[in-house]
Structure 1
């Protein structure tokens, strides 16, 4: 079996570079940063709420003990009430297991969940 390879000067492309009669269309919509900047602004508020929670855990051993104790007893309602006492401006989702606690703060703009801040703390 013999294979013939053409030298480069004899290469014939499979297509020719003919001009396209149709103008190229952008497949993406125009950039609108309104929602993005609103989300960033709301996220700043989430960070303030997160700071309240973290500050309380860091500076109050009693509070940390109450949360851990309720979590060890699988008392989800008590854990949620303790954290929501911090006068947070956003809804909170809380999950915990023997390794730690996950606290999710959720913000909305224009009736959509624009951003979430998840804090995962090991205990």
Structure 2
């Protein structure tokens, strides 16, 4: 008698369950040919990636400008005060005075501030940089 079918090791009451033999050979890997293996990939074009990389460099300069301005205690105090009162327009005005060339979308919570920096293009968005900085508990 196999121990796999013994009621002490397989205590289900339904006799149907005791008919199945649990054995490693039952789970042998089966490989079948797949149509995805011999799939043709499209031609590689790096123009879009090159455009995103060149745009990202400008976004990173704007991110450095934002962090430099926020390192000044007076500006940080002013921005946090208006954010604490929920004055989104004033926070956006303060960020606009930083002189960023890209569009900066600011959102904040009691514990963090998020800056999403997007290039100002009329077409589809190629890239964005998001800064998340903790400023509370």
Which bin holds the TM-score, normalised by the shorter protein? 0.7 to 0.9
**SS of 1:50 mapped into structure 2:** helix
1:34-66 Cα deviation digits (max 9, x unpaired): 0101101100000001111100111x1000001
Matched, 1:104 2:116: yes
1:11-56 Cα deviation digits (max 9, x unpaired): xxx98x9xxxxxx550x21110001011011000000011111001
CA contact (8 A) 2:108 2:114 kept: yes
Matched, 1:62 2:38: no
The residue that corresponds to 2:100 in the other structure is 88
> 5+ unaligned residues in a row in structure 1: which ranges?
2-13, 18-23
Q: Matches of 2:80 and 2:73 in 1, distance apart? A: 10
> 5+ unaligned residues in a row in structure 2: which ranges?
2-30
**SS of 1:115 mapped into structure 2:** coil
Give the TM-score taking structure 1 as reference length.
0.76
How many residues are paired up? 105
Q: Matches of 2:60 and 2:43 in 1, distance apart? A: 30
Matched, 1:71 2:83: yes
> Which structure carries more relative contact order (alpha carbon 8 Å, separation 6+)?
1
Q: Matches of 2:57 and 2:49 in 1, distance apart? A: 13
The residue that corresponds to 2:16 in the other structure is none
Give the TM-score taking structure 2 as reference length.
0.69
Structure 1 or 2: more strand by fraction: 1
**SS of 1:113 mapped into structure 2:** coil
Runs of 4+ with deviation above 4 angstroms: none
Q: Matches of 2:52 and 2:123 in 1, distance apart? A: 12
